[in-house]
Structure 1
Amino acid sequence: MTNAPLLSFDLDRTYPAPPERVWAAFTRADLLERWVLPDPEWRLAKCEVDAREGGGYRLRFGPRPDGDAYSEVATFAVFEPVERLVFDVLTEGEGTSERSRCTVLLLPVEGGTRLELTVEGLSGPQAAEHLRTGWQWCLEGIAAQLDAAAL
């Protein structure tokens, strides 16, 4: 039996917030910039969001002090407010160019929202592991942003 390379992964997280607040974290630049960094030692140099189908987001981020090592451009292929967001992402920088497709489902559950994330179309296991780690940090960042907004 051979193991196929990991070219996709799934993550999920339940937040004690309504789906509208979790949706806003993905579709408002002022909220996205609070959680999108995949490493707490990095900074964000640019964050723009065009919240509509066919729109997307543009980021520049990376290690301090400049935060300008990587760019990430996403296009919203499916934009179903407060339920489903599908976006195609191109991440480039420091000799890396990676494409992926991300699907975010927001499911109302008792006491909050369950976010289910699928990332697919990756070039290989190393890219999948790096993006999985980055997305795990991001899902934690959403939790922190939602907690801070509740205060």
Structure 2
Amino acid sequence: MPAQQITVEALVPAPIERAWAAFTTPADITQWNFASDDWCCPSAEVDLRVGGTYKARMEAKDGSFGFDFEGLYEEVEPGRALTLTLGDGRKARTTFAPSGDATRVTTVFDAETLHSIAMQRDGWQAILDNFAAHVGRQAAR
């Protein structure tokens, strides 16, 4: 039976080129890739090509827990879309679409079975919201 899919999206206050760069550049990823202020992303690695790897270290700031979020790029269409196959075989596809002076970023991902759908949606949405806020802060500079 196929996994249930969950969709999250955010309106990013920047053109697609800037949104894409912030989404795929390790130095940017470490600034936004966490769901709450008590977590951080101390490192990220991106080999942005089909068959390339993605790895982001996720850690609780108090040191109590951490894990590597890893995947392989299955699709890379610069400025348009990317698809990751995660370590457990699930897929996550993120698309970038113009929306006036902004960019609509949408991620559709396969749910896992350990956590509730609501918890997964809320966590991924919080990360995407952090991404939009990060790009917004850059645009304001």
User: Smaller-chain TM-score range?
Assistant: 0.7 to 0.9
Which ranges of 4 or more aligned residues in structure 1 deviate by more than 6 Å? none
Contact 1:18–1:113 at 8 Å: present in 2 too? yes
Shift of 1:68: 5.3
Matched, 1:88 2:77: no
TM superposition score normalised by structure 1: 0.80
- Going from structure 1 to structure 2, the CA distance change for 1:52 and 1:133 (only over 3 Å counts) comes to same
Matched, 1:126 2:126: no
- SS of the residue aligned with 2:90? strand
Shift of 1:99: 4.6
- Structure 2: gaps of 5 or more residues: none
| Structure 1: distance between partners of 2:76 and 2:103 | 18
Identical positions, percent: 25
| Structure 1: distance between partners of 2:121 and 2:134 | 20
RMSD across aligned positions (CA) = 2.0
Q: Read off the aligned partner of 1:48 and give its amino acid letter.
A: E
Matched, 1:22 2:19: yes
- Please name the residue that 2:35 is paired with: 38
Structure of larger gyration radius: 1
- Going from structure 1 to structure 2, the CA distance change for 1:113 and 1:124 (only over 3 Å counts) comes to same
Show CA shifts across 1:96-126 (max 9, x none).
Answer: xx55211111111212111121112x33373
Aligned length: 138
Q: Read off the aligned partner of 1:140 and give its amino acid letter.
A: D
**Match runs of 1:68-87 below 5 Å:** 69-87=66-84
Q: Read off the aligned partner of 2:131 and give its amino acid letter.
A: I
Contact 2:30–2:40 at 8 Å: present in 1 too? no
Q: In terms of mean alpha carbon deviation, does 19-28 or 38-47 score higher?
A: 38-47
- SS of the residue aligned with 2:131? helix
- Please name the residue that 1:149 is paired with: 138
More RCO (CA 8 Å, sep 6+): 2
Shift of 1:77: 0.4
- Structure 1: gaps of 5 or more residues: 1-5, 91-97
Which residue, out of 3, 8, 15, partners 1:11?
8
Q: Read off the aligned partner of 1:126 and give its amino acid letter.
A: H
Q: Read off the aligned partner of 1:133 and give its amino acid letter.
A: D
**Match runs of 1:87-126 below 5 Å:** 87-90=84-87, 99-120=89-110, 122-124=111-113, 126=115
Q: In terms of mean alpha carbon deviation, does 125-134 or 48-57 score higher?
A: 125-134
Q: Read off the aligned partner of 1:148 and give its amino acid letter.
A: R
